[in-house]
């Protein structure tokens, strides 16, 4: 599986596997709900999902997520609440769920893992910012 957590090593993935729980979501099911406190970070293994921002009129789709992509990383970094809803877009979306407390323990215990994990998250966010900037320019 290709992942957006591109700097993690095989040993890092083995650490994550010790804490991850395999979960499945049905088409249309909310994986993450906007405005709720973060408890779990998800890594999509199979299927796709959309990141949607709730508005008074209708949701705005911000991004499409697929295999290897991470859900709830922004709330994880901010130790806050989910800023958007993530919805399953296939008949079944399978993901590894890692409790925030377990992920933080791995980060505190293994400094090399922490550096590679945060480097990967920084790269993900930089790519998303670049994409959002290009979209803004396109609609200008």
The CATH number assigned to the domain with range 10-138 reads: 2.60.120.10
* Confidence at residue 2, expressed as pLDDT on a 0 to 100 scale: 55
How far apart CA 98 and CA 104 sit, in angstroms, is 10
The reported pTM is 0.88
What is the overall mean pLDDT for the chain?
Answer: 91
pLDDT in tens, 64-88: 999 989 998 888 888 889 999 999 9
Q: Which helix (H) or strand (E) holds 19?
A: helix 10-19
Measure the CA–CA gap between 49 and 80, rounded to whole angstroms: 21
CA atoms of 91 and 108, how far apart (whole Å): 37
With 60 as the cut, is the pLDDT of residue 26 above it? yes
Residue in 82, 69, 61 with CA at minimum distance from that of residue 121 = 69
pLDDT tens by residue, 34-73: 999 999 999 999 999 999 988 888 888 888 999 989 998 8
What is the three-class DSSP state of 136? Answer: helix
> What distance in Å separates the CA atoms of residue 24 and residue 53, rounded to the nearest whole number?
22
Q: Which DSSP category does 38 fall into?
A: P
Q: Which two tokens stand for residue 91?
A: 């008949």
Over its C-alpha atoms, the chain yields an Rg (Å, rounded) of: 15
Segment 116-127, tens digit of pLDDT: 999 999 998 888
Burial class (CB in 10 A: 0-12, 13-18, 19+), 40: buried
């Amino acid at each position: 599986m290709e992942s957006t957590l591109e700097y993690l090593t095989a040993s890092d993935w083995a650490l994550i596997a010790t804490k991850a729980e395999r979960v499945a979501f049905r088409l249309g099911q909310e994986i993450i709900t906007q405005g709720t406190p973060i408890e779990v970070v998800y890594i999509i293994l199979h299927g796709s999902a959309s990141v949607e921002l709730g508005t008074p009129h209708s949701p705005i789709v911000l991004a499409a997520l697929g295999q290897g992509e991470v859900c709830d990383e922004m709330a994880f970094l901010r130790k806050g609440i989910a800023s958007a809803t993530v919805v399953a877009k296939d008949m079944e979306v399978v993901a590894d769920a890692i409790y925030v407390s377990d992920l933080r323990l791995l980060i505190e215990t293994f400094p090399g893992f922490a550096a590679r994990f945060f480097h990967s998250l920084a790269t993900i966010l930089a790519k998303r910012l670049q994409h959002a900037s290009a979209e803004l320019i396109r609609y200008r």
